[in-house]
Amino acid sequence: MTRGNQRDQDRLKAQKKLAAANKGKNTSGVSHTKRAESDAEIMRAKQAAKEAAKAAGGAAAAPAKK
């Protein structure tokens, strides 16, 4: 065999590359749709709070522009 351990070295290199590519992946188990629904609910709550503050007294909600 003229290749020696090149095949094994390539295999190790490929495993390291794959591990590095998967390192940043989210593995918390939360699906994309559940995350989107959660984010949308948070944004709706923020929007409702902002509208309530604006209705109560507009000065606190939006500073005057000059």
Would you list the domain boundaries of the chain? 29-53
Q: Which pTM was predicted? A: 0.42
Q: Looking at this protein, which amino acid is placed at residue 45?
A: A
> What is the predicted pLDDT for the residue at 10?
93
Q: What is the sign, positive or negative, of the torsion defined by CA atoms of 32, 25, 28, 19?
A: positive
With a pLDDT cut of 70, the percent of the chain lying above it is 76
Contact 53, 61 (CB under 8 A): yes
pLDDT one-digit tens code per residue, 17-48: 998 888 776 656 678 888 899 999 999 999 99
> What is the predicted pLDDT for the residue at 20?
86
